[in-house]
Chains A and B, each alone.
Chain A
Amino acid sequence: MKRTIILAAVATAFAAPVQARDYISIVGSSTVYPFVTVVAEQFGKTTDFKTPKIESTGSGGGLKLFCAGVGVEHPDVANASRRIKASEVEKCASNGVNEVIEVKIGYDGIVFANSRKSDPVRITREQIFLALAKDVPDPNGGETLVPNPYMKWSEIDPSLPDTKIEVLGPPPTSGTRDAFAELGLEGGCKAIDWIRAMKKSDRRKYRATCHTVREDGGYVEAGENDNLIVQKLDANPAAFGVFGYSFLDQNSDRIQGSVVDGMEPTFENIAAQDYPISRALYFYVKKAHVGAIPGVEEFLAEFTSDKAWGEEGYLADKGMIPMPDDERMKFADDVKNLANLSL
Chain B
Amino acid sequence: MRTSVHTSEAMARRLAKRRAAERRFRAYGIVAITLAILALATLFTSIVGNGYTAFQQTYIALEVTYDPEVLGLGEARDPKALSGANYPGLVKKTMRDMFPDVKGRKDKRALYGIVSSGAAFMIRERLLADPGLVGRTERIRVPADDDIDMLVKGHIDRQVPEAERRVKDNQIGWVETLEEAGRIERRFNTAFFTAGDSREPELAGIRGAAVGSLYALLVTLALSFPIGVAAAVYLEEFAPTNRLTDLIEVNINNLAAVPSIIFGLLGLSIFINFFGLPRSAPLVGGLVLTLMTLPTIIIASRAALKSVPPSIREAALGMGASKMQTITHHVLPLAMPGMLTGTIIGMAQALGESAPLLMIGMVAFIVDIPGGPLDPSTVLPVQIFLWADSPERAFVERTSAAIMVLLAFLITMNALAVVLRRRFERRW
How far in angstroms is the closest Cβ of chain A from B101? 22
Q: Is the CB of A319 within 8 A of B391?
A: yes
Query: B220 near A: Cβ within 8 Å?
Result: no
Write the nearest CB–CB distance from B279 to chain A, whole angstroms.
8
Contact pattern, B 351-375, Cβ under 8 Å of A = 1, otherwise 0? 0000000000101111110000010
Q: How far is the CA of A247 from the CA of B390 in the complex (A)?
A: 9
- State which of A2, A116, A227, A253 has its C-beta within 8 Å of the C-beta of B389: A227
Known A9-B222, A41-B198, A73-B276; judge A55-B361 contact (CB<8 A). yes
Q: Beta-carbon contacts of A45-62 to B below 8 Å, as 1s and 0s?
A: 100001101111100000
The total of chain A residues at the interface (CB under 8 A) is 49
A227 near B388: Cβ-Cβ < 8 Å: yes
Who on chain A is nearest to B156 by CB?
Answer: A253
CB pair B392–A250 under 8 Å, yes or no, is yes
Let me know if B365 and A224 touch, CB within 8 A.
no
Residues of A within 8 A of B18 (CB): none
A232-264 Cβ-contact flags toward B at 8 Å (1 or 0)? 000000000000101101111100100000000
**In contact, B391 and A227 (Cβ under 8 angstroms):** yes
B323 at the interface (CB under 8 A from A): no
Shortest beta-carbon distance from A191 to chain B in Å: 31
- Whether A227 pairs with B277 at a CB distance below 8 angstroms is no
Known: A41-B198, A50-B368, A312-B109. A227 touches B396 (CB 8 A): yes
A230 to B283, CA, bound (A): 37
Q: Taking CB as reference atom, which chain A residue is nearest B160?
A: A253
Stretch in B30-38, B223-231, B413-421 with 4+ CB within 8 Å of A: B223-231
- Chain A nearest CB, measured from B56 CB (Å): 21
Assess the A253–B364 pair: CB atoms within 8 A.
Answer: no
Q: Is the CB of B367 within 8 A of A41?
A: yes
Q: Let me know if A33 is at the binding interface, CB within 8 A.
A: yes
Question: Do residues A250 and B166 form an inter-chain contact, with CB atoms below 8 A?
Answer: yes
Determine if B342 is an interface residue (Cβ-Cβ < 8 Å).
Answer: no
Are the C-beta atoms of A6 and B365 separated by less than 8 Å?
Answer: no
Q: Which of A55, A56, A252 contacts B164 (CB 8 A)?
A: A252
Q: Which residues of the partner chain B approach A285 to less than 8 Å between Cβ atoms? A: none
Contact among B113, B121, B165, B363 for A55, CB-based, below 8 A: B363
Roughly how many angstroms separate A45 CA and B392 CA in the complex, as a whole number? 21
Q: Give the complex CA separation of A247 and B276 in angstroms.
A: 38
Q: Does B275 contact A (CB under 8 A)?
A: yes
Given contacts A227-B390, A246-B391, contact A2 B226 (CB under 8 A): yes
Q: Is the CB of B166 within 8 A of A53?
A: no
* Stretch of A11-19, A85-93, A123-131, A154-162 lying at the B interface: A11-19
Q: State in angstroms the CA–CA spacing of A17 and B279 once bound together.
A: 10
**Contact A37-B199, Cβ < 8 Å, known A44-B368, A252-B165:** yes
- Decide yes or no: A253 and B166 within 8 Å by CB, A53-B364, A226-B391 being known contacts: yes
Contact A314/B117 with A53-B376, A55-B280 known, Cβ cut-off 8 Å: yes
Contact pattern, A 118-160, Cβ under 8 Å of B = 1, otherwise 0: 0000000000000000000000000000000000000000000
Which residue on chain B has the smallest CB distance to residue A42?
B117
Residues from chain A with a CB closer than 8 A to the CB of B388 are 225, 227-228
Residues of B with C-beta under 8 A to A73? 276, 278-279
A38 to B390, CA, bound (A): 12
Q: Nearest chain-A residue to B396 (Cβ)?
A: A227
- Complex CA–CA separation, A55 to B165 (angstroms): 31
A56 CB to closest chain B CB (Å) equals 6
Q: Considering the complex, which residues of chain B in the window 248-283 have a beta carbon less than 8 Å from any beta carbon of chain A?
A: 275-281, 283
How would you classify the secondary structure of chain B's contact residues: helix, strand, loop or mixed?
Answer: loop
A17 and B393: CB pair below 8 A? no
Cα of A253 to Cα of B157 in the assembled complex, Å: 8
Tell me if A176 is interfacial: C-beta within 8 Å of chain B: no
A226 to B389, Cβ gap below 8 A?
yes
Query: How many angstroms between the C-alpha atoms of A13 and B312 in the bound complex?
Result: 40
Choose among B199, B277, B280, B361 the residue that contacts A318 (Cβ–Cβ < 8 A): B199
Among A23, A250, A312, which residue has the most Cβ atoms of chain B within 10 A?
A250
B368 touches A38 (CB 8 A): no
Q: How far does the Cβ of B3 sit from chain A's closest Cβ, in whole Å?
A: 65
Q: With A14-B277, A253-B157 known to touch, is A40 a contact of B365 (CB < 8 Å)?
A: yes
Q: Hey, which chain A residues are within 8 Å of B156, CB to CB? A: 253
Question: B227-239 interface mask toward A, CB cutoff 8 Å, 1 = contact, 0 = none?
Answer: 1001000000000
Query: Which A residues lie within 8 Å of B117 (CB)?
Result: 314
Shortest Cβ distance from residue A169 to the other chain B in the assembled complex, whole angstroms: 15
With CB as the reference atom, state the residue of chain A lying closest to B203.
Answer: A41
A73: nearest chain-B partner, CB-CB: B276
Within 8 A of B (CB), among A267-294: none
Bound: A33/B364 CA distance, A:
9
Taken together as a complex, chains A and B put the C-alpha atoms of A331 and B364 apart, in Å, by 27
Closest CB in chain A relative to B358 CB, distance in Å? 9
195-212 of chain B: CB within 8 A of chain A: 198-200
Residues on B with C-beta less than 8 A from A44 are 367-368
A114 at the interface (CB under 8 A from B): no
Q: Which residues of A contact B230 (CB under 8 A)?
A: 2
Q: Which residues of A contact B363 (CB under 8 A)?
A: 55-57
In the bound complex, do residue B390 and residue A252 qualify as a contact, i.e. CB atoms below 8 Å apart? no
14 residue pairs A–B, Cβ–Cβ below 8 Å: A5-B226, A6-B223, A17-B281, A23-B376, A44-B368, A50-B368, A51-B367, A53-B365, A53-B366, A55-B363, A55-B364, A250-B393, A252-B164, A318-B391
Known: A34-B391, A227-B389, A250-B391. 6 other contacts (CB 8 A): A6-B227, A17-B374, A53-B280, A73-B279, A225-B389, A250-B393
Instruction: Sort A-B residue pairs by CB-CB distance and give the 6 closest, nearest first.
Output: A51-B367, A54-B365, A55-B364, A253-B165, A37-B365, A53-B376
Q: Which residues of B contact A (CB under 8 A)?
A: 109, 113, 117, 121, 156-157, 160, 163-166, 198-200, 222-223, 226-227, 230, 275-281, 283, 361, 363-368, 374, 376, 386, 388-393, 396
